[in-house]
Amino acid sequence: MCDERQAVGTSLLTEIRLIVFKSRISLKTLAILCKSLATMLHSGVPLLKTLEIASRKTGDAKCRRTLATIRDEIRQGTDMSEAMAQQQGYFPELTIDMVSVGERTGALPEVLEGLAGHYENINRLWRMLIGLIAWPLFQLVAAIFIVGFVILVLGWIAPTPTPGQPAHDILGLGLTGTSGAIKWFALSFGSIFGVVAIYYIGGTVFRSKRFFDALLMKIPVVGSCLRSFAIARFSWCYAVTQQTGMPIQHSLELSLKATGNGAFMGASAAVCEAVMNGEELSTALDDTRLFPEEYVSLVQVGETSGTVPETLQRLSPQFEEQARRSLVVLAVSVSWLVWLLVAGLIAFIVISFVLQYVKMINDAMKI
């Protein structure tokens, strides 16, 4: 039990460090690195020389040092995937797993090329999401600061309460002056950061990511976006691993892990067991209730013709496009939600002012 607690504590500290200090490689740098390595290896450049050239070309100092360390480990006889795994979470698990596949199958250039395209797509989608939600998020933060500023200023200019009388709270929030503004900021930003921390740290460390992702997938718009992303990644990874000749069980495990979605990863054991017991892949996927009917039907057609990897490779871009459309809808929905929230804050402030003003008039008339 003590060892288990210690492991959880270590995982928690590691996750906090990775999130707060951003010690993982950026998607942009990773995509460029994979593309560069794939191009040079395709051209016949030895792996050690490839890593040396790539380390000189990258503009990321941390990446340069990491590649130099990996090159030294490989020179001493360590596999590239093992050397990458020793870099304390710098590389995503998917990258390490896929590099291991490439080393075992002799298809490392092809695997790296597939990873490059995969991370380029993720980076492009991430930039699009940031562009779509940046303005609404700015409005939300501005609204929080405006309310805090109003609380602070009104606390300064309000008349000093007489002994035994409560402080003059013109907004009706129970928050006045400097201390009230601090409480408002702590409550507002603390709630936002708390939700993010619970999802990223709790979902990773306490193995509840399956629950969180399954819950999010039930939310309209959000669920469609997450499902499309997960299916696109599953399709891409399964096609790549099957084309390298990987056994189907390991291929399915890695592909479901590549989704990055706890609900899909949680279904890995059931899918693998069903397939190993002789069930069709389409049936095993359908039993998870995670894949849409049309997707399962296309997989079934691929099984009949013996072209499942090729079928999924064609489906991956389609679901990526569907994910982009869902992402746009999600961003618009978030924008409207933020607008309503800001409008609600403004309306609340105005109504509070009016009610307090009427109360002051009534109190004055009673004197």
Give the pLDDT confidence score for residue 344 in this predicted structure. Answer: 80
pLDDT in tens, the chain (367 residues): 444 444 434 444 444 444 444 467 888 888 889 999 999 998 889 988 998 888 888 888 888 889 999 999 999 989 998 999 888 788 888 888 888 888 877 888 888 888 888 788 778 877 877 877 788 778 778 878 887 887 787 777 665 555 555 555 656 667 777 788 888 888 888 887 887 777 666 555 545 677 778 888 888 878 888 888 888 888 888 888 887 778 888 889 888 888 878 889 889 999 999 999 989 999 999 999 999 898 999 899 888 888 888 888 888 788 878 877 877 787 778 778 877 877 887 787 777 777 777 776 776 676 5
CA 125/CA 358 separation, integer angstroms: 51
Tokens of residue 254, six digits: 């890695």
Taking the CA atoms of residue 73, residue 78, residue 79 and residue 83 in that order, the dihedral angle to the nearest 10 degrees is -40
Homologous superfamily (CATH) for 22-91: Type II secretion system (T2SS), domain F (1.20.81.30)
Q: Which residues contact 266 (CB under 8 A, 6 or more apart)?
A: 210, 214
Q: Which residues contact 79 (CB under 8 A, 6 or more apart)?
A: 100, 103
CA 254/CA 104 separation, integer angstroms: 15
Give the pLDDT confidence score for residue 271 in this predicted structure. Answer: 93
Q: Which DSSP state fits 25?
A: P
Give the pLDDT confidence score for residue 16 in this predicted structure. Answer: 42
Q: Under a CB-based contact definition with an 8 Å cutoff, are residues 229 and 129 in contact?
A: no
Q: Under a CB-based contact definition with an 8 Å cutoff, are residues 302 and 310 in contact?
A: yes
Neighbouring C-alpha atoms within 13 Å toward the C-beta of 230 = 24
pTM of the model: 0.69
CA 158/CA 99 separation, integer angstroms: 66
